[in-house]
Amino acid sequence: MSKLWGGRFEGQTDALVEQLGESVSYDARLAPWDIRGSIAHARMLGDRGIIKKGDAQKIIRGLKAIAKDIEHGKLKWDTALEDVHTNIEVALVKKIGDAGKRLHTGRSRNDQIATDVRLWLRDQVDTILEELVVLQTALVDFAEAHIDVILPGFTHMQHAQPVLFAHHILAYFEMFKRDRERFHQLRDRVNILPLGSAAMAGTPYPIDRKQVAKELGFAGISANSMDAVSDRDYQIEFCAAASMVMMHLSRMSEELILWSSPGFNFVEIGDAFTTGSSIMPQKKNPDVAELVRGKVGRVYGDLSAILTMVKGLPLTYNRDLQEDKEALFDASDTVQLCLAVFANMIPSITVNADSMAAATRQGFMEATDMADYLVTQGMPFREAHGVIGRIVLHCTREGLTLPELDLDLLQGYSPLFKHDIFKVLTPQAIVGRRNNPGGTAPARVKQALKQARKSL
């Protein structure tokens, strides 16, 4: 590893150790945020008289020039200099001379990297929040476009009760709504400035941390220098929130995969989001949904990696913490990509309402409502449950559905059955009766759609 900072070493670092210790190959992406933090730090140093104002101005101009060099691909990253910070500082000294050596006054790479990552992560959270809104909007549009469609609801992957398709889609809207809440809460904890903690004990220079925080848009400053440079709980929380998003995307992916199969034939995913087979010309594979479902594992792995890295570290900074960034970057990149592709895929989906309607006539989904009917006639629910169970058993033996039974047969099981029982057995009637808040009745679902739209 680099001996650039210090004169106590006589020997050279082993080449493999340099390879082990370098991070610029992946943390170079933090350069824009590193430069933002350094500009704010330099301005504060000049304002406080810690360094000359002229030097501070030179540093700021030099950093802005380096930012342009990076943007245009002119800065060559040197792995021998280990990390993004050192590469930029060396480039600064080459550009403006000795004034560049004063930039690091009153700070350490420990609080510098913590600041860079918080700045970067805050922007990623904002992007993810925007992408969640885009996806939720696509879901609301999708649900509204199919407000009259009814499909089977499932428990244990068995036909349970009919529900509005829009109600089913809005279940995912609610999941992503909670994801947004988690990221909003996380953002408050990310938005704290660690700069000024220095290596781990603070700095003797008369710095103004609040000035730096204000310039960088942080809501506050860290309360404990040791905690600020050594903990990564905000990264763990980010990966946990990202894992939750991916889990929700995976559940919806699983349903789209099932629904698009010939056994269901509920939906057809657009050509732009499906692929063919190398040998079977009839195939239209839901690869996008499968890939999203598969990528959940890597985000879970990112969460596990950072949790495992931090769990045994004594205070304060340890070099292990360098290993946080690749997992964090991967989690952010993966969730952003999957959210974006999913939001684009939703409008491509064609709904097969006829197949869904046909499926509602399978699996005796009228059974609960038949039991409820007997309850309205005065029979205790547990007794009604048993009566309907025996009727279903008869149907399974005879190959019949519940609506195909005649009144005489039903009255053989209970005299409480009347002619109006058959009005109970349509999917529309079953759905319409679930008219409590949160239920699948059309009126409730239309209210939920309005509320969903308003929340966006």
DSSP-assigned letters across all residues of 218-236: -SEE-S-HHHHHH--HHHH
Single out the catalytic residue among 72, 156, 278, 419: 156
Q: Which two tokens stand for residue 148?
A: 């009259």
Tokens of 82: 């280990």
- 134 contact partners, CB below 8 Å, separation of at least 6: 339, 340, 343
- Asked if 277 is an active-site residue, the reply is yes
- The H helix count followed by the E strand count for the chain is 19, 6
Catalytic residue (one of 277, 278, 332, 455): 277
Judge if the upstream peptide bond of residue 316 is cis by omega within 30 degrees of 0: yes
Neighbouring residues of 415: CB distance < 8 A, sequence distance ≥ 6:
none
Q: Among residues 214, 226, 231, 221, which one has the least CA distance to residue 194?
A: 221
Tell me the DSSP string of 301-316.
HHHHHHHHHHTTPPSS
CA pair distance 412, 406, nearest whole angstrom: 10
The span from the CA of 99 to the CA of 281, in Å, is 67
Q: Known catalytic residue: 156? A: yes
**What are the catalytic residues?**
156, 277
